[in-house]
Structure 1
Amino acid sequence: MDRPADTDPICALCGRPIPPDVPQSLHHLVPKLKGGKGGPTVLLHQICHSEIHATLTEAELARSYDTPEKLREHPRLAKFVGWIRKRPPGFRSKVPGKRRGRR
């Protein structure tokens, strides 16, 4: 039996529900290698988490992007969020691995 969508956790980056059959991931707001091992985490769709790490280095994450709000303000992530919000919550990328290099 399916759970109602309103009981699914919400992705901290894109704001869409995370259905139980969709890969999800915990994101350390300060990377573990930069002192965030025990620090706050947020739940994300795996595709959203992958986009964060394809966009920003660990140093950039620790220095300037340590909240979901700051992540959404990054130009490339803002564009990604606008694009992914048009997809259903269960959307998965068909392209394996990192899609593009950092700018």
Structure 2
Amino acid sequence: MTGDPICPLCDRPIPEGVPQSRHHLVPRLRGGKGRETVLLHQICHNEIHASLSETDLARAYCTIEALRAHPRLAKFIAWVGKRPADFRSKVPGKRRGRR
């Protein structure tokens, strides 16, 4: 056990020095200011926002379980889960647009 925090989306450790960010389970602009946040790898956080609108996040994807069940995020989780915990995307910004 490394003692590093675990990303709740991909279940991989978040080692020191790896880009990370806090995700509001309910977007701030949709009533989530001051509500629960979770610490994620930056790459995982980017994928959530590339996959879902803030409205979708607030209405149907405001839990880790719901996020993990989303088809596109489930595919991403399977892909990123095969990478080392310190994996970083070489592509700047959003990888692709919402579908």
Tell me the TM-score normalised to structure 1 length: 0.94
Larger Rg: 1
Aligned CA RMSD, in angstroms, stands at 0.7
Matched, 1:82 2:78: yes
Aligned residue identity for 1:76: R
Tell me the TM-score normalised to structure 2 length: 0.98
Question: Would you say how many aligned residue pairs link Structure 1 and Structure 2?
Answer: 99
Corresponding residue for residue 55 of structure 1? 51
Percent sequence identity is 72
- Pick the aligned partner of 1:68 from 44, 59, 64: 64
CA distance in 2, matches of 1:6, 1:45: 16
CA distance in 2, matches of 1:68, 1:20: 22
Corresponding residue for residue 92 of structure 1? 88
1:7 alignment partner, SS class: coil
Corresponding residue for residue 13 of structure 1? 9
Aligned residue identity for 1:64: A
1:72 alignment partner, SS class: helix
Aligned residue identity for 2:42: Q
5+ residue gaps, structure 1? none
Runs of 4+ in 1 over 6 A off after TM superposition: none
Matched, 1:37 2:33: yes
5+ residue gaps, structure 2? none
